[in-house]
Structure 1
Amino acid sequence: MKNITLHKGDLPADIDLGKVIAVDTEAMGLNPFRDALCVVQLSSGDGTAHVVQLSRDFDCPNLKAVLADQSRLKIFHFARFDVAMMKQWLGIECGPIWCTKIASKLCRTYTDRHGLKDVAREIAGVDMSKAQQSSDWGAETLTDAQLHYCASDVLHLHAIKDGLEAMLAREGRLELAQACFDFLPVRAELDLEGWGETDIFSHS
């Protein structure tokens, strides 16, 4: 499969992903306490996706080092979930973070459609299939369709970030967006500590 490299267990130590890395995850479900993290996919924005299929002992020091490296920016779509899953299953705090979903909500105020498929179509001109979103990511062997699906989730994030960043700048909301990104590790920690559905900032 062109531009998709599957790695079993960990990233090779000699891969250079640069200073801005698109990242996404796949898990057995949406409950970070019950549903194991299965796959982490990364791209440096060069058209290549690296898909890491995790073993259940989560012995992946090279991957953990990249994700926790504070000198490398990580681009996510809905980072809140991914960051919580990485903390729960990999035992790391991923950062720094740039979240395209938060950015979309702050600058694309003319729509309520902020899913990756909709944002990618408008900002990057890419039609993405979400057919494999709900599939068995814990399978011993991932299918070609699964690999293409998870790769597509990171291959376009650099372009999406660039487009949304320009919109944020135009609307004067770059600093607000950055403050939200900086808060994401705390938001993920609140989720893991039991305040996922509680607005602790509300009056009641």
Structure 2
Amino acid sequence: MSRRQPSTEVPVPITDTAALAALCERLQGEAFVTVDTEFMRERTYWPELCLVQLAGDHEVAVVDTMAPGLDLAPLGALLADSKVVKVFHAARQDVEIFLLKFGAVPTPLYDTQVAAMVAGFGDQVSYDALARALAGASIDKAHRFSDWAARPLSPAQISYAAADVTHLRAIYRGLVARLEREGRTGWVEEEMAALADPATYRADPETQWERLKPRTHNRRFLALLRAAAAWREREAQRVNIPRQRLAKDETLLEVAATAPTTPAELSRARGITDGFAKGKSGASLLAALEEARKLPDDALPELPRDRGPAPSPALVALLKVLLAAQSEAHHVAPRLLASTDELERLAAGEDVPALHGWRRSVFGDAALALKAGRIALGVDGKKVRVIEAG
């Protein structure tokens, strides 16, 4: 049976619950649905969902999530339907939004950016690049930085939003067929398991201090920094503003160093106003610092222990060459196999993801063999190749 060509008309945004429920009921009969969102986050901690775009085999829809009185429950039911694959491109931020909105990760989940990396399209390949390669389409990015919270939306904005799921159908089908031919479907399934884990999207306030990369081993300072960073995360969530707008990283480092105990002392820190120091946020920050001061020595945090002697830079360089060679030979993005930090840890004898699952067969076993002297690297014409050691 021939497949009907999808309509090229600009969809009328869905603004009422009955229309959304009817759409989701139709889409629940599909094998897969492509999904994208438009949101704003510049002025808030939590993303403000503005649009959801959905496409089945024969229709494309744009849901105006800001429409008064619109109940998104039918969308939540569709995203939870295990019989329908939900296809995203670069899914992480979209999935985070739906996890916040519905309390669950869409399931089952398929990310075409990750699948494209497995299929050899390079690191973090863009949607428009895949659209050109697999759908023969050119994407107009003129509305990429639109204010999606402003109403009314123009036909051009709606058309732009709809295009993000229209061509995703052909991209998904092309990747699935390619990966099935190459026997890599299981590789993608391993990657999707991490994306489907809700813990992937939840920032732990108690570990936020590690992102600041303090350069001291003073554990009392680290306790104050941990308290300040955890306070910022929770307070930014409470008042719904970006964490850096609430307090910059350098402000937290200075607060931990000066350990203020009063609003007057707190107001002397760079980036802290007198009004902030005397207000509710300042009081809660001072309270968090006071709790950290009371911690016994055995409860103080510490920086990760040194790994011992640094691995030979030459060994790390060899592993980088091997990574590039194996990536080229297997047509898979190098970044998906191992990061630079993971190569250094591998050289130091630590356990890394490259030693598990499909990565081990592509790169991990060869890396261990290179370290053990069982293989060497040589040049064959214009390519690096692996040579079995005599």
| Coarse TM-score class (shorter-chain normalised) | 0.7 to 0.9
User: Does 1:74 pair with 2:107?
Assistant: no
User: Does 1:4 pair with 2:35?
Assistant: no
Name which one, 1 or 2, has greater alpha-carbon Rg.
2
Q: Is the 8 A contact 1:22 1:43 kept in 2?
A: yes
2:52 to 40, 54, 57: 40
Q: TM-score, normalised by structure 2?
A: 0.46
Q: Residues 130-145 of structure 1: matches in 2 within 5 Å?
A: 130-145=141-156
Where 1:63 maps in the other structure, the secondary structure is helix
Structure 1: which amino acid aligns with 2:134? I
Partner in structure 2 of residue 107 of structure 1: 119
User: Does 1:92 pair with 2:100?
Assistant: no
- For 1:77 and 1:31, locate their aligned partners in 2 and report how far apart those are by CA, in whole Å: 24
The percent of aligned pairs where both chains have the same amino acid is 31
- For 1:81 and 1:28, locate their aligned partners in 2 and report how far apart those are by CA, in whole Å: 11
Q: How many residues align?
A: 200
Task: Using CA pairs under 8 Å that are at least 6 residues apart, name the structure with larger relative contact order, 1 or 2.
Answer: 1
How many angstroms does 1:9 deviate by? 5.1
Kindly indicate which of the two structures has a greater share of residues assigned to strand.
1
Where 2:196 maps in the other structure, the secondary structure is helix
Q: Taking structure 1 as reference, are residues 136 and 9 closer, same or farther at Cα in structure 2, changes over 3 Å only? A: farther
Partner in structure 2 of residue 193 of structure 1: 203
User: Does 1:14 pair with 2:22?
Assistant: yes
Larger displacement relative to structure 2 (52-61 or 173-182): 52-61
Where 1:6 maps in the other structure, the secondary structure is coil
Structure 2: which amino acid aligns with 1:160? I
Q: Is the 8 A contact 1:22 1:42 kept in 2?
A: yes
Q: TM-score, normalised by structure 1?
A: 0.85
1:62 to 74, 83, 94: 74
Where 1:148 maps in the other structure, the secondary structure is helix
Unmatched 5+ stretches in structure 2: 1-7, 212-338, 351-390
Partner in structure 2 of residue 83 of structure 1: 95
How many angstroms does 1:14 deviate by? 2.2
Q: Residues 169-180 of structure 1: matches in 2 within 5 Å?
A: 169-180=180-191
How many angstroms does 1:174 deviate by? 1.1
CA RMSD of aligned residues (A): 2.9
Structure 2: which amino acid aligns with 1:45? D
- For 2:124 and 2:190, locate their aligned partners in 1 and report how far apart those are by CA, in whole Å: 22
How many angstroms does 1:30 deviate by? 7.3
Q: Taking structure 1 as reference, are residues 135 and 90 closer, same or farther at Cα in structure 2, changes over 3 Å only? A: farther
Where 1:12 maps in the other structure, the secondary structure is helix
Unmatched 5+ stretches in structure 1: none
Partner in structure 2 of residue 162 of structure 1: 173
- For 1:28 and 1:173, locate their aligned partners in 2 and report how far apart those are by CA, in whole Å: 36
Where 1:128 maps in the other structure, the secondary structure is coil
Structure 2: which amino acid aligns with 1:12? L
- For 2:42 and 2:22, locate their aligned partners in 1 and report how far apart those are by CA, in whole Å: 32
Q: Is the 8 A contact 1:78 1:100 kept in 2?
A: yes
